[in-house]
Structures are given as C-alpha cells and as structure tokens.
Amino acid sequence: MKAWLLLATAIAAEVAATSALKASDGFSRWVPSLVVLAGYGIAFYCLSLTLRHIPIGIAYAVWSGAGTALIALIGVVAYQQKLDLPGMLGIGLIVAGVLVLNLFSRSGAH
C-alpha cells in the first residue's frame, strides 16, 4: 500500500512540475522554474522508491498514463486548450490500457 501512495505522490509531483513548466516561460520566470525543478526531483525520488515494490513496467505505465490524463485535463481547465473527440478517445485508451494491465495482467505479480 505504501508503494502505491509513493507512486501517487510521484504522479502528483510530476503533474505539478509539468504544469509549472508551461508557466515558467522557458525558465525565464523564477517561481514556476523552481516548482519545475522541485516537482521533478520529488517525482523521480518517489518513483525510485516505488520501484522497490512495484515492477517497473507497471509503475511506469500507471505513472505515465495517469500523468498524461491529468495533464490533458489541466490543459483544458487551466489553459483553455481544446480536446477534440479523437484526443479524448486516445486518452481514454491510455487509461483503459493501464487499467487492463493492472486488473487483468499477471505482469505485476512478484
């Protein structure tokens, strides 16, 4: 359970860092730039701890899939980016793939 909490923390930190990356304006704004550096540092540290308990393929699929979906949502809400039907379908397929991997695959078994 602790490993999944660490993975959720890694995802949250990566999403915060990626969101701040846009706000950093090419690292020309200090505060968002510091959020980027701290966020990615926390994300990779927590991911590295997660990998002690969760297989790398599973952890990375969850991390990247959840991060992709959350960043797309933030883009729509915070940056007024448009997400068309093919984009929503693609993100849905990514989430579905992560769910199938975790719920039905034996890849995560130790």
Residue-wise pLDDT for 31-52, tens only, equals 999 999 999 999 999 999 999 9
Confirm whether 108 is domain-assigned. Answer: no
At 59-78, the pLDDT tens digits run 999 999 999 999 999 999 99
Q: Are 44 and 63 in contact (CB under 8 A)?
A: no
Find all residues with CB under 8 Å of 11, minimum gap 6, and list them: 43, 62, 63, 66, 67, 70
Half-sphere exposure of 55 (CA within 13 A, CB side): 11
Confirm whether 24 is domain-assigned. Answer: yes
Confirm whether 19 is domain-assigned. Answer: yes
Q: List the domain range (segments joined by +) for residue 42.
A: 2-103
The model scores a pTM over 0.85: yes
Total domain count, the chain:
1
